[in-house]
Amino acid sequence: MSDAELATPFRHRAGGAMKDAFLQEALTIATTKFIGLRREAFAGFPEGEALRDQARAIKEATLQHLDQHLESLIGNVERLGGHVHFAATPAEARTIIVDIARRTGARMAVKSKSMATEEIHLNEALEAAGVTPVETDLGEYIIQLAHERPSHIIAPAIHKTKGQVAELFTRALKRPAEPDPEALTQIARAELREKFLQADLGITGANFAVADTGTVVLVTNEGNGRMVTSLPRVHVAVMGVEKVVPSFTDLMVFLAILAKSATGQKLSVYTSLVQGPRRGGELEGPEEFHLVLLDGGRIAQIAGPLREALSCLRCGACLNVCPVYRQIGGHAYGYTYPGPIGILLTAMLEGAPAVRDLAHASSLCGACADACPVRIDIPRMLIELRREVDEKKIAPWTERVAFTLLAKLLQSPRLYRFAAKAGRVLQRPFASDGRIRRLPLFFGEWTRTRDLPPVAPRTFQERWASDKDLRA
Amino acid sequence: MTTRAEFLERIRQQVRMSPGRFQASSARRPPHPAAEAETIRRELAERWPETLEAFRREFEGVAGVFHRTASIDMVPAVVARIARERGARELVAWHAAALGADLTSALGAQGLDVHQMPAAEPSAAAERDRLRAVAARAGLGLTGVDLAIAETGTLVLVSGAGRPRSTSLLPPCHIAVFDRTALIESLRQVGVFLEAWHGDGRPPAAGAAINFITGPSRTADIELTLTRGVHGPKEVHAIFVEQPIRG
């Protein structure tokens, strides 16, 4: 999202999304379908629960020795003839990749779907360097043509109708397109096939990297991951440092639950294990392989409060079940990663001030933690983030004053009793039909979207003291 | 720019500072994967018909088309039928050594225009480009299979000399030929084979890519409508050969 859009308060972005009737329908259909597919996949897979526990344990065990696993990964990638780069910030990652593109004389880069490259805003940097980036995942291709950003981690264009996509293709590709998903897909196939065959540079993320064999693992359904890692002469993979797993045995545990959580498939159509540049005897595969290891705020969380979020597999399951995401969709969050886990990742990558409002964009219902294949306790970290936002005085002063006063009130029985009496008097002008619909001044923020229950005519303590029936 | 040493030192510091959230260990790896892989194969040799049936069910569940023939000699006729039904004539195939049998003349006799991929890397860039163009225009791609996973209906193909990655990727119709020696039951068993190939065993080929293929290429990116054949093949056929291909 652009800075201008981010300048709009989250509340307004969310409000806009809730008034968008098409978006509302698209979100309901998509998230409901994903929830059903996921549930079915695990219903027929009794060992799934134990595998989820094991997957979580592997992530935790890997983090406890992350330095060693990364050193092993680096050593093995280099042994296979690959190059490893280190990017502390998105800017460093962009510089590294643009340098590779320049050195190899690349004019066009084909990209398979990657949240890491979204996160570092790579496309703009490539364009500025004279390299044309082409997104090849159908959903990403659509939003690239529309100059938008993904609205869901695994279904980037769910906010668009087939009619909108047809209009977009007709305009951007200058060829007539019917609003039929099959026909639109065939147009994209033809357009992108040419690009795969022409591109000099292939850019991917990594779903996993296996330390002890130097393997980058890509999971896709369309086959674009295979194209991008097989046809261009240079392959660059960008991955967050937390994506490493120790061994192939560990990898299989994750593969067994990843697609089930994301799309309800037993496995995605293509799982590609890529081990460095092409080897002797091979007709295809890149001549050069580069792995860019990305920090971007992750490393500081190894011993930080958001450590658990480093286990995220980016499956999107927590988005689909989140009552807030289901209402507002991905764009309203305003950053690369939407949904419950997206709030935590945004805090990790952009710092706590970025989630001042977003930290509250959760009902803390816990559906995300239940859906998470590796059982990340997202609500716990959201609560901690709210506290941090409060303690660091990032929250608006009115909110901080209100909560400080409330805390004092709740700690003192005398003050509490007094406040109950005072409240009964003060609320008189505002209460009607047993509800307070509107409060004055900044208190009005509270009643803007909900009613406030008034203080009861008699408090429970007063009734307890005088009412014998209650005690009987 | 951050150097490798600085980058890794930051991670080391953080790892030292964090006690970890709970006691955890990664998955237990087979101590002798090659021997374990051999045991899996031996045990499966006795119950392959059940495994094959499970594979067929899952493979068809992901929209794969399953065929069964008695011997490798009958494969060209099946391939020719698939080609006729699709109006395709041009076929790219893995090299005979990678397929386990030389089907070139038999396929040619069926009226197919067969391009066998070279057993060794072509030395001239022009030849490489020519072969890529052939794969890009061919209607059919014929490959072998290194593992067929019953749990998920997945074909595992290891790249290497004579077994280009594009044969199973660029043509709109992929035909894979396999026998009982490729059949395994589960994803867990795949892990054992992968460990063996990289450990004390021998991989089926020496290329840099291992691809798991679970049905035809698909997407649901437009209104969650399932559509096949986005970038990869629109159709995947698996031909099971009853008599082991390599005798």
Task: Work out the minimum CA distance from A366 to partner chain B, whole angstroms.
Answer: 20
Residue of B nearest to A194 (CA): B136
User: Does a structural domain hold residue B16?
Assistant: no
User: Does a structural domain hold residue B208?
Assistant: yes
Residue of A nearest to B10 (CA): A299
Average pLDDT over residues A281-292: 97
pLDDT tens digits along B88-142? 999 999 999 999 999 999 999 999 999 999 999 888 989 999 999 999 999 999 9
pLDDT tens digits along A93-137? 999 999 999 999 999 999 999 999 999 999 999 999 999 999 999
d(CA B216, CA A219): 14
CATH of the domain at B94: 3.40.50.10420
Q: Are A157 and B221 within 8 A, CB to CB?
A: yes
Q: Tally the domains of chain B.
A: 1
User: Does a structural domain hold residue B25?
Assistant: no
Residues of chain A contacting residue B93, judged by C-beta atoms under 8 Å apart: none
Q: How much of chain B exceeds pLDDT 90, in percent?
A: 93
Q: Are B27 and A139 within 8 A, CB to CB?
A: no
pLDDT tens digits along A338-387? 999 999 999 999 999 999 999 999 999 999 999 999 999 999 999 999 98
3-state secondary structure of B173: strand
Is this prediction's pTM over 0.95?
Answer: no
User: Does a structural domain hold residue B49?
Assistant: yes
> In the predicted model, is pLDDT for residue A5 greater than 70?
no
Q: Are B231 and A223 within 8 A, CB to CB?
A: yes
Task: State the pLDDT confidence band at A141, using cuts at 50, 70 and 90.
Answer: very high
Residue of A nearest to B225 (CA): A181
d(CA B67, CA B179): 12
Q: How much of chain B exceeds pLDDT 70, in percent?
A: 100
The three-point CA angle B149-B153-B159 to 5° equals 60
Task: Work out the minimum CA distance from B175 to partner chain A, whole angstroms.
Answer: 16
pLDDT at A2: 52
Q: Which residues contact B131 (CB under 8 A, 6 or more apart)?
A: A283, B115, B117, B118, B122, B164
Residues of chain B contacting residue A182, judged by C-beta atoms under 8 Å apart: 225, 227
pLDDT tens digits along A433-460? 888 888 888 778 778 778 888 888 888 8
Residue whose pair of structure tokens reads 């990749």 in the numeric block: A97
CB-defined contacts A:B, below 8 A: 287
Give me the residues paired with residue A293 across strands.
Answer: A86, A239
pLDDT at B241: 98
Q: Which of residues 41-60 of A touch B (CB under 8 A)?
A: 54, 56-58, 60
Residue A142 near residue A165 (C-beta atoms within 8 A) = yes
The winner for highest mean pLDDT among A350-354, A419-423, A425-429, B121-125 is A350-354
pLDDT tens digits along B147-169? 999 999 999 999 999 999 999 99
Q: Determine what percent of chain B falls in helix, strand and coil, rounding each to the nearest 5.
A: 40, 20, 40
Q: Which residues contact A65 (CB under 8 A, 6 or more apart)?
A: B15
d(CA A217, CA A205): 9
Q: Are B30 and A263 within 8 A, CB to CB?
A: no
3-state SS, one letter per residue, for A364-383: CCCHHHHHCCCCCCHHHHHH
Identify the domain containing residue B225 by its residue range: 31-241
> Nearest CB to A67: which of B1, B11, B128?
B11
User: In the structure, how many helices (H) and strands (E) does chain A have?
Assistant: 23, 12
User: Does a structural domain hold residue B3?
Assistant: no
Q: Are A229 and B209 within 8 A, CB to CB?
A: yes
pLDDT tens digits along A170-201? 999 999 999 999 999 999 999 999 999 999 99
Q: Enumerate domains of chain A plus CATH numbers.
A: 1-44+315-395 (no CATH), 51-296 (3.40.50.10420), 397-471 (no CATH)
Write phi, then psi, for A232 (nearest 5 degrees): -65, 160
The token duo for A148 is: 């938008």
Average pLDDT over residues A204-212: 98
User: Does a structural domain hold residue B39?
Assistant: yes
Concatenate the DSSP letters of all residues of A158-217 into one string.
Answer: TTS-HHHHHHHHHHHS-S---S-HHHHHHHHHHHHHHHHHH-SEEEE--SEEEGGGTEEE
Q: Which residues contact A465 (CB under 8 A, 6 or more apart)?
A: none
Residue B214 near residue A266 (C-beta atoms within 8 A) = yes
Which of B22, B221, B225 is most worth mutating to test chain A (most A CB atoms within 10 A of its CB)? Answer: B221
Task: State the pLDDT confidence band at A3, using cuts at 50, 70 and 90.
Answer: low
Task: Note whether ipTM > 0.85 here.
Answer: yes
User: Does a structural domain hold residue B98?
Assistant: yes
User: Does a structural domain hold residue B170?
Assistant: yes
pLDDT at A4: 55
Write phi, then psi, for B158 (nearest 5 degrees): -95, 130
Residues of chain A contacting residue B234, judged by C-beta atoms under 8 Å apart: none
What is the overall mean pLDDT for chain A? Answer: 93
What is the overall mean pLDDT for chain B? Answer: 96
